[in-house]
Copies of this chain bind each other. A is one copy, B any other.
Amino acid sequence: MSAPKQIFVAVVGVGGVGKAFLNQLDHIRQRLSSAPVPVALSLVLVRRSTKQLFSRDFAPLDIPSALSKLDAVSEPQQPFPDTLAALARAPGRVILVDNTSDQALAETYPSILSAGLSIVTPNKKAFSHSHALWQAIQQAAANGTGPATAGHVYHESTVGAGLPVLSTLKELVDTGDRVTKIEGVFSGTMSFLFNSFMPVGGGGGSFAAEVTKAKNLGYTEPDPRDDLNGLDVARKLTILARLAGLPVESPTSFPVQSLIPSELESCSSGDEFLTRLPEFDSRMEELKESAAKEGKVVRFVGSIDVGAKAVKVGLEKFDASHPIAALKGSDNIINFYTERYGGNPLIIQGAGAGADVTAMGVSGDLLKVVRALQ
């Protein structure tokens, strides 16, 4: 029996998603090592912004103890380009797991892929920045239009976390279906906020109170304006639109409705913003009342009309019986309207945020790369 195929895994970013990913990696490593055609997955790098643990001789790091060993590292941080160069000399294929939201790292993806390293990541920046960067990544990747020797890139968790959103869209397109429209709730924060602010059947607190509640429950970014400006949803729509064939230039090149009152854009802190937000509750209350009069509810959605090449993000009214209205908790819902599926869309729904489900999207992508490299 020949030695199992060696694949090296380098993890950058060990926050919530990174930690959950390492747990899943340990499960996957064990399963693959005892598979009939075994694969040896070796963790060789864990890196956070201030320090890294790197197995320079490519001997596998013990996964369960990797983070405590990382904590104990005392040498000064190495520049990442040096580490990347060392990874490119590994005695086998390398998968870089980017669990950061680092724009600078994202911009180096084309050169990382060209060096033969594969990338799996929930980092939206690489795929929702300029269309030029998107093209450069596609042109560099073996599973884009790059050479067979290049790395593969997968980023399922950039939209809907672990939900099979991008893989489904890609399969629709690759098998020749015509996607006509994509519509949904793409933010766990916005989902929670509007399901609480205006639940089907009535009730709900004032908008400012619901924002404060969401923040206290940990559903928002530290500064809730980073959710309310709509940019996170706009990034996800940019990625979906590009996969559906629209050459969207950037997440700011189409209409995105911000829920930050213009008067509060200049607040110096998230706390000041939250303190002043109730002054503007009457605007949201009017919207709520006008929707209720039509028997509808208000939700913060994104939509892509592929034929009209129109992408937009903002508040829309939905009948109480619409699946988007009936969403619960912080769930995401994504509706794909296509020629094949006709009047009723293909719907994918469930938790679209959270460390475990986001890491699952990354782990699933890792398995796709392993299959491609086998």
Question: Which residues of A line the B interface, CB within 8 A?
Answer: 23-24, 27-28, 31, 35-37, 142, 145-148, 162-164, 167-168, 171-172, 174-177, 200, 321, 323, 326, 328-329, 331, 336, 340-351, 354, 356-357, 360, 363-364, 367, 371-372, 374
Contact = CB atoms under 8 A, between A and B. Distances in A.
Nearest to A349: B347
B344 A27 contact: no
A36 B174 contact: no
A158 B167 CA distance: 19
Could you say how many copies of this chain the assembly holds?
2
A4 to B, nearest CB: 12
A168 B326 CA distance: 23
Contact of A326 (B175, B323, B371): B323
Contact of A344 (B174, B329, B372): B329
- 10 A-B pairs closest in CB distance: A27-B176, A346-B350, A347-B349, A175-B363, A36-B145, A171-B364, A340-B356, A37-B148, A164-B164, A175-B360
Contact of A367 (B28, B36, B174, B346): B174
A73 to B, nearest CB: 27
A340 B162 contact: yes
Nearest to A27: B176
Given A147-B36, A326-B326, A344-B331, A164 B175 contact: no
Contacts of A24: 175-176
Given A340-B360, A341-B357, A372-B371, A346 B163 contact: yes
Contact of A171 (B36, B147, B164): B164
Nearest to A364: B171
Contacts of A329: 343-344
Given A28-B174, A172-B360, A175-B364, A164 B162 contact: no
Nearest to A26: B176
A28 B371 contact: no
A164 B340 CA distance: 15
A175 B349 contact: no
A374 to B, nearest CB: 8
